[in-house]
Amino acid sequence: FALPGGFVGIHLGLIAQAASTDELAAVLAHELTHVTQRHIARSNSSARRQSALGLAGMLLGLLAAARSGSPDLAQATIMGSQAAMVQGQLNFSRDMEREADRIGFTIMTEAGYNGAGVAAVFERLQRANRLNDSGNFPYLRSHPLTVERIGEAQSRVQQAQAQAQAQAQSAGLGAATGPVGQTVRITEQRWTPDLPTQEMHQLMRARARVLMETHVPALRRWQTLAAQDGAADERLATLYSATLASVMLGEPRIAQRHLQELMARPVQPSSRQVLEVLSAEVAVAQGQANRATAQLESLNGRDRAVRLARAEAALKWVQQAGDLRERAKARQALQLHTDGLVTWVIDQKRDALAWSILSICQQALDQPLRALRADAEARWALGDLNGALDRLKAGQRLVR
């Protein structure tokens, strides 16, 4: 969903329900269009105009009642003006949704995603609402009919394919192939995007599903599914879910069993890194944060998830360290990865989670003033300005 101020909200349910990266990109492109085209501001402006028309209709009704002496005429005039005002707002809303669909399609295909994901999203939405949405009264809806949006999306895909093939043939390159939106870019030798793989999406989808419902029965359900013989193409995601659920249940032995089967499966390099991060989470749950920290050292340190995982593993190592020598090594590792987080938030100032983890790490390193500043940044990134101000004032009191 889009919010005033240029914000777009993304929840775990969206990731969990999107069957592909193309479907997820379709939704995000749609919401980004609402922001870039200033639909909320334009909607508010339209509402003010419609309110003025409604007020004028009410005054006209009162004037008609005073002159004709007929209360029915006055009531009909007032109700008619109110209905016209609401209908105008609904019409405007549908137009904005159509514009978001149209421009969003262009945005996602230019980014390298398959435009067929738009129709797939609407088809999924239609299946979910088939029992409680008969499709009646389209003129009383804030959004166009789903079947209408599916047809328009499919038409755009066909037009894009025809255009790509025509451009390829005119350039002497033969028939165009590949996903919609990528063909033109490839034939013109433009930038080729590095998109997430479908396998990576399935792993992140599995993680989102576990994090959506963290109560014990839901977590147990993932363990049960992993013990059953499910579809082969879903086995990777099922094992990932079961491993993460077992960690959250505090059952590292079961998590390790699922992890062993998971790590034995052939996966793409990007997915292998995701599994290595999960393996580090299992090691931390087993009380082996030192092993988790060492394991994460071999991964790509520029990746956000790896940076956060390194800091959290080193923090756990400090907490789990026994003798003074091991504790000194753990603090050294924690300082190293805390510095890595500092480097990260310099460029990513609105990463609230990174700021929060940085605050906890600095507190563990006996740096309370820096920890308060990082906590203030985290609250500011979340929009909690009063909380951020409170943390900064606490820092001022600390240095007095």
pLDDT tens string 314-332: 999 999 988 899 999 999 9
Asked if residue 153 belongs to a domain, the reply is yes
Asked if residue 292 belongs to a domain, the reply is no
What pLDDT does 6 receive?
Answer: 80
pLDDT interval class at 173 (50, 70, 90): low
Q: What is the 3-state secondary structure (H, E, C) of 129-176?
A: CCCCCCCCCHHHCCCCCHHHHHHHHHHHHHHHHHHHHHHHHHCCCCCC
Q: Residue 291: is its pLDDT beyond 90?
A: yes
Q: For residue 327, give the nearest of 292, 359, 289 by alpha carbon.
A: 289
146-163: average pLDDT: 86
Asked if residue 187 belongs to a domain, the reply is no
Q: Report d(CA 213, CA 39) in Å as an integer.
A: 33
Residues 248 and 328 in one domain: no
Q: Residue 187: is its pLDDT beyond 60?
A: no
Asked if residue 75 belongs to a domain, the reply is yes
Asked if residue 294 belongs to a domain, the reply is no
9-36: average pLDDT: 92
- Residue 221 CB-density burial (10 A; 0-12 exposed, 13-18 middle, 19+ buried): middle
- Joined together, the tokens standing for residue 246 give 């077992």
Q: Report d(CA 156, CA 154) in Å as an integer.
A: 5
Between vectors from CA 168 to CA 167 and to CA 172, what angle results, nearest 5°?
A: 115
What pLDDT does 182 receive?
Answer: 47
What pLDDT does 215 receive?
Answer: 95
End-to-end Cα distance, the chain? 44
Residues 142 and 220 in one domain: no
* Phi and psi angles of residue 290, each rounded to the nearest 5 degrees, phi first: -65, -40
Asked if residue 219 belongs to a domain, the reply is yes
Q: Report d(CA 131, CA 127) in Å as an integer.
A: 8
More confident residue, 182 or 303: 303
Q: Report d(CA 366, CA 102) in Å as an integer.
A: 53
Scan for tokens 């149209």, then name that residue: 102
Asked if residue 181 belongs to a domain, the reply is no
Residues 261 and 344 in one domain: no
Residues 25 and 152 in one domain: yes
Between vectors from CA 227 to CA 221 and to CA 231, what angle results, nearest 5°?
A: 95
pLDDT interval class at 75 (50, 70, 90): confident
Q: Report how far apart, in Å, the C-alpha atoms of 254 and of each of 282, 288, 349 are.
A: 10, 16, 38
Instruction: Report the residue count for the chain.
Output: 400
More confident residue, 182 or 84: 84
Q: Report how far apart, in Å, the C-alpha atoms of 190 and of each of 102, 104, 160, 187, 397 are.
A: 23, 21, 17, 8, 55
Q: Residue 223: is its pLDDT beyond 50?
A: yes
Q: Residue 189: is its pLDDT beyond 70?
A: no
12-34: average pLDDT: 93
Mean pLDDT of the chain: 86
Q: Residue 230: is its pLDDT beyond 50?
A: yes
Long-range contacts of 266-273 (CB under 8 A, 24+ apart): 267/199, 267/236, 268/197, 268/199, 268/200, 270/196, 270/197, 270/199, 270/200, 271/197, 271/199, 271/200, 271/203, 273/299, 273/300, 273/303, 273/306
Residues 211 and 341 in one domain: no
Residues 211 and 65 in one domain: no
Q: Report d(CA 117, CA 160) in Å as an integer.
A: 14
pLDDT interval class at 285 (50, 70, 90): very high
Residues 136 and 8 in one domain: yes
What pTM did the predictor assign?
0.81
pLDDT interval class at 309 (50, 70, 90): very high
Scan for tokens 């920890």, then name that residue: 371
130-144: average pLDDT: 67
Asked if residue 9 belongs to a domain, the reply is yes
**CB proximity list for 146: less than 8 A, separation 6 or greater:** 122, 125, 126, 129, 133, 135
pLDDT interval class at 184 (50, 70, 90): very low
Residues 395 and 306 in one domain: yes
Residues 37 and 139 in one domain: yes
DSSP-assigned letters across all residues of 262-323: HHTS---HHHHHHHHHHHHHHHHHTT-HHHHHHHHTTS-TTSHHHHHHHHHHHHHHHHH--S
Residues 139 and 273 in one domain: no
Residues 142 and 66 in one domain: yes
More confident residue, 107 or 51: 107
Q: Residue 36: is its pLDDT beyond 60?
A: yes
What pLDDT does 239 receive?
Answer: 96
- Joined together, the tokens standing for residue 380 give 């500011």
Q: For residue 333, give the nearest of 355, 354, 318, 321 by alpha carbon.
A: 318
What pLDDT does 218 receive?
Answer: 95
Specify the range with the lowest mean pLDDT, choosing from 107-111, 160-164, 284-288, 331-335: 160-164
* Phi and psi angles of residue 134, each rounded to the nearest 5 degrees, phi first: -85, -10
pLDDT digits (tens, 9 = 90+) for 244-262: 999 999 999 999 999 999 9
More confident residue, 352 or 53: 352
- Joined together, the tokens standing for residue 4 give 């005033």
Residues 27 and 153 in one domain: yes
By residue range, what is the domain housing residue 103? 2-165
More confident residue, 187 or 58: 58
2-30: average pLDDT: 90
206-213: average pLDDT: 95
**Domain total for the chain?**
3
- Joined together, the tokens standing for residue 232 give 């082969």
Q: For residue 294, give the nearest of 329, 252, 248 by alpha carbon.
A: 329
